Amino acid sequence: MSGLFISFEGNDGAGKTTQAKLFKEYLEGCGYSVRLFREPGGTEISEKIREIILDNENYKMKHMTEALLYAAARCQLVYEGILPALKGGQIVICDRFLDSSLVYQGVGRGLGIDVVKDINSYATGGIMPDLTFFLHLDFSEALSRKNYQHELDRMENQKAYFHNRVYKGFMELAESEKERIVTIEADKKPEIIAEEIADYFNYFVGSRGL
Ligand code: TMP
């Protein structure tokens, strides 16, 4: 099978990171060669940009600056990490990708989805995941899970109405791109969710003859 690009999306605390890791283990157990990246991050430069974006001291950051920084981190990851791995026939799992910018910056910050798409067309060269798992969990429940894990960063610290807009933005996006985005109900035990994701993946590769 040639390379396959799969992303995980959802509100902060919905469980993407756990599921992306479990999915990597599952795929490796099936014999696939897999790369797992996170966004923003995944390369040395992108991780440095991540620190700037999430630093609570940077509360003066303009929304457009934020959108451009996410795009810059993504650009580096696409050309240094994702494209070479796909060319090498690997499965790439990304813990967030462009959809997060469309929803957090486009909808949450109010920059508009088209503006954020435009910026990112330079950053990604148009590459999009073949398949996206959207972990659906009510934004307030998701965020309260985060509270237990660590001190909240600049994005997590945004007000509830911001996270609610993000939540609604994800649901609208998932509704409008049903071909690519699969909604997974995330209010279950991690093992159950992981099984559903693996089942869908097997259906996906089977139905496409991959
Ligand atoms: P993470 O906690 O999933 O690693 O993501 C870091 C934060 O960055 C999270 O609050 C979501 C946010 N984010 C955006 O606002 N736009 C983006 O394009 C990405 C990738 C993440």
pLDDT in tens, 59-106: 999 999 999 999 999 999 999 999 999 999 999 999 999 999 999 999
Cα four-point dihedral sign 185, 143, 98, 115: positive
CA distance 207 to 158: 41
Q: What share of the chain is helix, strand, coil (3-state, %, to 5)?
A: 60, 15, 30
Q: Rounded distance, CA 167 to CA 108, Å? A: 9
Residue 27 — pLDDT band, cuts 50, 70, 90?
very high
Q: What average pLDDT score do residues 189-204 get? A: 97
Q: How confident is the model at residue 140 (pLDDT cuts 50, 70, 90)?
A: confident
Ligand 1, atom nearest to 70 Cα: 18
Q: Is the dihedral of CA 163, 166, 171, 172 positive or negative?
A: positive
Q: Whole-angstrom Cα distance, residue 100 to residue 170?
A: 8
Which residue among 100, 120, 135 is best mutated to probe the pocket of ligand 1, counting the most ligand atoms within 8 A of its Cβ? 100
Percentage of the chain lying above the pLDDT 90 cut: 87
Give the chain's mean pLDDT. Answer: 95
Give the binding-site residues of ligand 1, using a 6 Å CB cut-off: 12, 38-40, 70, 96, 100-101, 104-105, 155-156
Dihedral (CA of 72, 3, 181, 193) sign: negative
pLDDT at 114: 97
Atom of ligand 1 nearest to the CA of 156: 10
* For residue 146, pLDDT beyond 90: no
Q: What does the pLDDT look like over 150-175, one tens digit per residue?
A: 788 999 999 989 999 999 999 999 99
Residue environment code for 87-100, b if the CB has 16+ CB neighbours within 10 A, otherwise e: eeebbbbbbbbbbb
The whole-angstrom separation of Cα 58 and Cα 60 is 5
Distance 79 CA to ligand 1 centre (A): 19
pLDDT over threshold 70, residue 148: no
pLDDT (average), residues 32-44 = 98
- pTM metric for this prediction: 0.96
Cα(131) to centroid(ligand 1), Å: 19
Q: What is the pLDDT of residue 150?
A: 76
Residue with token string 């996170």: 38
In this prediction, residue 170 carries a pLDDT of 97
Give every CB contact of residue 169 below 8 A, 6+ residues apart in sequence: 102, 103, 104, 106, 107, 108
Enter the tokens of residue 91.
């499965």
Label residue 25 by pLDDT band (50, 70, 90): very high
CA of 12 to the centre of ligand 1 (A): 8
The pLDDT value recorded for residue 181 is: 98
C-beta separation of 153 from 54 below 8 A: yes
Closest ligand 1 atom to 38 CA:
4
Give the atom of ligand 1 at the shortest distance from the alpha carbon of 155: 10
